[in-house]
Each structure stands twice: as structure tokens, then as C-alpha cells.
Amino acid sequence: MTYLSKITSPTLLIDEKKCRANIKRMADKAARHEMKLAPHWKTAQSRVIGTWAKDFGIKEITASSIKMAAYLCGQGWENIHIAFPFNPLEIKKLNELAKNQSLSVQLVNPITTQKLVDQLFEKVGFFIEIDAGYGRTGVKVSDFGLIEEILRTAKKSDKLYFKGFYIHAGHSYYKPDIPELYEETRNALGMLKAKYRSEYPQLVTRTGDTPGCAVMEDFGDIDEMGPGNFVFFDLMQANLGGCSKEEIAVALAVPVVDINKERKEVLVHGGGVHLAKDVLKEPDGTNNFGEVVHLEESGWKISESSERSYLKSISQEHGIIKASESFLQKVKIGDVIGILPVHSCMTADAMASYLSLDGQTIDHAEGDC
């Protein structure tokens, strides 16, 4: 019995060989630049896939929520960093987890810092998040007054210890000049390190976006990297030059339920609740919500560019494929085909489990919590 015989509804497939290769590639890059790799597990959200990462010497990991950190606790990680501005309503949970697991949090204001000072009973590290320049979150790099107020406040407690500065250059997903962005990141983190290293000799700097970490080779004196999407990659990363389509390690298996040859469209059971609604634009302006691949017992095969088919529209459960002539000739109602996702992080979160190519179910935090 192959993995294909198990599929009757939308199912997220994972190619372990590709996933391991992606992890190795980033681990090798971090080692080459003498940087620590503490990958952001918001993409994989899996204990099993975490064991694959450990095979490449990865000892620390990053989570995007305290819920995810809780799921990853007890798995032997030296530290779990929660890379989201800390929510003070979760201090009780933080204390519970920190009894048995080394944790660090992200701080952006003195109010939350003071609440931690008042309520922490266990030792917890913290990074100050610096705004990368696109205004999502973080302290402005030039706002030394705010940085120092956070540091002064944290000093009131022997339970809070400063680890360093963190920047997530997330605008690398939509800004074409990644080298220019990384020059800004290097300069910002380098300046902060020079300014505060004498008072905090152990401080480190960390950056963490996959587009930059995948394509850049000049990280200056940044100490750590924490990308997440690289574990799987996706069409967005391929479009940005961070990977090839052949390196994408997940594909959504979807059943074909109808074919309209007149419109050259194929209807599949696979929509926004499975893929999310991240989208790329085709040269003719049409939407691309995912690219069709042919499923085989050993994995999936990517079509030649001239024979490419893709999801042109999706609703909650429906997906409509703009089909090439060759695909129309081969596809049948009842077939199961694969879709390479535009944004694998969101697809994995939506699907909440994986099916390996040897037919094993692999855990995901959202499916197991």
C-alpha cells in the first residue's frame, strides 16, 4: 500500500529527503559564517521534524507563540525563543513552562517588561526586537531612550536576563533589493552591539527571514540566524530566488472532482481552508494560488514550463485550476494531484498534520494540541 492509497481528501504531503536537505543547507550556511542557527519552527510546528533538525546539530529553536513553545517543550531543546512581542496575559503560563525548559521572550516596551519584573518566578531571557524598517513591530534602532528604559526596568529582577537584539527583515518578501535590506540590518545590529557590548559582554544579535538567509552571503558580525520557511520552502521563495521548485518539500494532495474542457478548467477539493489565500501574479495578471505537480509513488514531478497548470482561483473548499492542454488530456475525475503551495507556513498551519511518502502521519502542533 502506497501513501497515495490513503488519500481521499486534501492532505499535506511531506518529502523527508527534501526537508532534510533544506535543513542541512541552512545549517551548513550558518556553520560557514560561524553563526548559530536557531530556526523558527512556525513553519514546521512538528516534534518529529524537530528530530530531523537535531541530526544537523541544531540545539535551539524558535516559536511564534507560547502555545507553540509549550508543544515543543520537553523535546531536549537547549532553549526555545518566543519570537513575538510578549503578551503579559501569559506570564502565568510562562512561569509554568520555564520551570523545566530554558525560554526567552521578545520585548518591545517597558510596560510588559515591568509586568515580567513583578510576576516572574522563573529565570527567562529576553531579546529586544528592533523595527526592521517596515513598521510591523519593534523599537526604532535610533530610540536609545526606549531601549535603555527596557534594559533599566529588566535590571530590577534577577529573573530577567538580557540576551541581545533581534531583527526580522520581513519586508525581504516584497522588496526586490535584498542585499540593500541586509546592509541596513547589518548596520543596525552592528551599531547596537558596539554601543551595548561593554555593559552586556554576552549579548548576541539575531536576524531571521528566509529570503535573506537563503540568498545572502554577507552577514557581517551578526551572531545568529532564525529563519523558518526554509525547512519546506514554497513558490514564493522560488519566485524570490531562495530555492528551486524542486527543493520545495511539501505539496497539498487534492482530489479532482470535475473537469470543464471547454473552459480548460479542473475543479479540485482544495481551497482557502487548506492552502490559505497567499497569491502570486502570473505574467498575464491572473492569480496563482499554487502550482500543479504530478504525484508518483516516490513523490511528485514538476511539469515543464510549457505544460504548467496552476490554481487560478480558490474559495473555501473549491479550487479551480487553469489547465494546460497536456494536463487536460491526462487528468480524470477521481485522480489525486499535487499542489505546490505559495506560502507553506500557512498551508501547514491550515492542514495541521503531514503524510510522509512512506505513508506515516507526522505531527503538527495545531493538530495535536
CATH number at residue 103: 3.20.20.10
Between CA 164 and CA 161 the distance in angstroms is 9
The answer to whether the beta carbons of residues 250 and 347 sit under 8 Å apart is: yes
Question: For the stretch 245-278, what's the b/e string if a residue is b when 16 or more beta carbons lie within 10 angstroms of its beta carbon?
Answer: bebbbbbbbbbbbebeeeeebbbbbbbbebbbeb
Asked if residue 303 is part of any domain, the answer here is: yes
Same domain, 33 and 122: yes
C-alpha cell at 201: 559582554
Same domain, 62 and 7: no
Asked if residue 252 is part of any domain, the answer here is: yes
Continuous H helices in 6-63: 16-32, 47-54
Asked if residue 238 is part of any domain, the answer here is: no
Same domain, 84 and 205: yes
C-alpha cell at 339: 499542489
Among 237, 238, 219, 240, smallest CA distance to 229 is for: 237
Percentage of residues in the chain with pLDDT exceeding 70?
A: 97
Same domain, 166 and 83: yes
Asked if residue 196 is part of any domain, the answer here is: yes
- The crossing angle, in degrees rounded to 10, of helices 91-98 and 110-119 is 50
Same domain, 154 and 290: no
Between CA 166 and CA 290 the distance in angstroms is 32
Asked if residue 237 is part of any domain, the answer here is: no
Residues facing 62 on adjacent strands: 40, 81
For residue 54, count CB atoms less than 10 angstroms from its CB and return exposed for 0-12, middle for 13-18, buried for 19 or more.
middle
Continuous H helices in 120-177: 144-154
For residue 37, count CB atoms less than 10 angstroms from its CB and return exposed for 0-12, middle for 13-18, buried for 19 or more.
buried
C-alpha cell at 180: 540593500
Is residue 319's pLDDT more than 70? Answer: yes
Is residue 155's pLDDT more than 60? Answer: yes
Same domain, 35 and 175: yes
CATH number at residue 343: 2.40.37.20
- Which run of H or E residues covers position 181? helix 178-196
Q: What is the pLDDT of residue 291?
A: 98
Is residue 205's pLDDT more than 90? Answer: yes
Same domain, 322 and 214: no
- Work out the average pLDDT over 168-187: 70
* pTM of the predicted protein model: 0.95
Same domain, 71 and 162: yes
Asked if residue 144 is part of any domain, the answer here is: yes
Q: Which of 194, 211, 232 is the last residue of a domain?
A: 232
Q: Which of 232, 266, 299 is the last residue of a domain?
A: 232
| pLDDT tens readout for residues 329-347 | 999 999 999 999 999 999 9
Same domain, 163 and 186: yes
Domains held by the chain: number: 2
Between CA 185 and CA 212 the distance in angstroms is 10
CA dist 36 to 57, 200, 232, 245, Å? Answer: 10, 19, 20, 27
Q: What is the pLDDT of residue 173?
A: 57
| Residue matched to cell numbers 496563482 | 288
- pLDDT bin (cut points 50, 70, 90) of residue 174 is low
Same domain, 226 and 269: no
Q: What is the mean pLDDT of the chain?
A: 94
| pLDDT tens readout for residues 35-47 | 999 999 999 999 9
Between CA 88 and CA 91 the distance in angstroms is 6
Cβ-based neighbour number of residue 163 at 10 Å: 22
Asked if residue 255 is part of any domain, the answer here is: yes
Asked if residue 138 is part of any domain, the answer here is: yes
Is residue 196's pLDDT more than 90? Answer: yes
Same domain, 8 and 54: no
| Residue matched to cell numbers 520545495 | 248
Percentage of residues in the chain with pLDDT exceeding 90?
A: 86
SS3 content of the chain, % helix, strand, coil (to 5): 35, 25, 35
| pLDDT tens readout for residues 257-313 | 999 999 999 999 999 999 998 999 999 999 999 999 999 999 999 998 889 999 999
- pLDDT bin (cut points 50, 70, 90) of residue 209 is confident
Quote the domain boundaries for residue 307.
3-12+243-368
Q: Which of 182, 199, 232 is the last residue of a domain?
A: 232
**369 or 9: which leads in pLDDT:** 9
**184 or 139: which leads in pLDDT:** 139
Between CA 338 and CA 358 the distance in angstroms is 16
Between CA 164 and CA 174 the distance in angstroms is 27
| pLDDT tens readout for residues 220-259 | 999 999 999 999 999 999 998 899 999 999 999 999 999 9
- pLDDT bin (cut points 50, 70, 90) of residue 171 is low
- Work out the average pLDDT over 49-75: 98
Q: What is the phi/psi pair of residue 143, to 5°?
A: -85, 70
Same domain, 41 and 184: yes
